Structure 1
């Protein structure tokens, strides 16, 4: 249902994202009827975000130049009440990433953090063994940590996994479904963050809209033929996104 609403609105989503997933993210947004723009030049990001309906910060291939652009665009988005989503990819892997995310959270009003358990642990200050930009290993009370982070930064938090967890610090929702192959191709989580940004441009209750988006995204994985080889899986994610976003009657909560 949420993907259908995004198609009806056709929001412009400004993404400062990582170069590993930029093409897949753009195609995924196009598949649901949104309009992506990937602009990270510091001289134009304020102007670009000013015409957008939502803004995504993804630190997957972070560097000092793009960090400046993220901060500049994020502050401009705040001035214009444009929702900002943070995807803190691999935040626990290096001190540079930790410091960058801390700076972003300090200087930019983030509406949503979309992360995995390892990234949540790094932001919450919980001991965790990161594995590059992958989640890594450790133990964390996802509910307690996510609520704490949401309350601290006055934002919503989505922690994705076999079951996704969504909270605003008070209310909480679990969304089950999906398939393990979603974790074995590059960019599915990053694309979800971009789709969540598009979702925040919709009218209505943000929590309800995000819950619907997470449910739709689980159905994307469920709807892909798992007899396909891994190389075909990513292509069929785009196909399923396109199909689900075009059907209001079949995909209801």
Structure 2
């Protein structure tokens, strides 16, 4: 949660991290978006996740290691049925969700070796069946609503060596949707590209994963309009 909170704060958002069911009714009316991450999943936390997802705010799901256990997959599918605006995961997570959420799909052999392009058709199928925008992270990120597909090509390989950068960029997607909930596809693509751009800038001063983590947050904080508009790499695919 640390890097996600710092990324949000650096980008100008104001995060609150909650687990307690009794706090959900107090916090959700005051927030612009909700982000649900199952990385540290607990059966005791599921009611809070359900309540937050059902609170009437646009929300984003990060199905961390969705296929790692039956309980985790069941929880992700239950949350997916509550209609998130965006689901952001790596290729293996999206392949797993697409396979389990729609029996008509034929995406098998989910493991950590898939790249983002291999999950694109699964992402499109999952977007159509769930109604969510699906974002697949990788060397190139793909974002789809089931019809349109955008690519976001910013970032550096070293970012994969930092734990929870995926969690942080999903949090940033939620912040962007909170700022403008009218276009989840564009919000997700912009968040992914801008986070990757911050990684590129941070890498110019970094010596390894630990220093990149620090410089990435600094770069995200220091981004201005000119740097963003000239540096992001977003494309609409045919």
Query: Which structure's residues are more often strand, by fraction?
Result: 1
Match among 105, 108, 117 for residue 127 of structure 1: 108
Q: Could you tell me how far apart the structure 2 residues matched to 1:162 and 1:85 are?
A: 21
Q: What TM-score do the two structures reach when normalised by structure 1?
A: 0.82
Determine whether 1:249 maps to 2:226: yes
Q: CA RMSD in A?
A: 1.6
- 1:129 is displaced (CA, Å) by 4.5
Structure 2 contact 95–110 (Cα < 8 Å) conserved: no
- 1:44 is displaced (CA, Å) by 1.2
Partner of 2:213: 234
CA deviations 1:190-243 (Å, max 9, x no partner) are 000000000111235332233222221221111113551322111111101101
Q: SS of 1:240's equivalent?
A: helix
CA deviations 1:159-183 (Å, max 9, x no partner) are 0000000000111011113111111
Q: SS of 1:249's equivalent?
A: helix
Partner of 1:56: 35
Q: Which has the higher contact order (CA 8 A, sep 6+)?
A: 1
- For these two proteins, the number of residue pairs brought into alignment is 220
Q: What TM-score do the two structures reach when normalised by structure 2?
A: 0.87
Determine whether 1:24 maps to 2:7: no
Structure 2: give runs of 5+ residues left out of the alignment.
100-106, 233-238
Partner of 2:113: 137
Match among 19, 23, 40 for residue 19 of structure 2: 40
Match among 139, 152, 157 for residue 180 of structure 1: 157
Partner of 2:67: 92
Q: Could you tell me how far apart the structure 2 residues matched to 1:214 and 1:225 are?
A: 16
- 1:105 is displaced (CA, Å) by 1.5
Partner of 1:215: 193
C-alpha change, 1:229 and 1:143, in structure 2 (3 Å) is closer
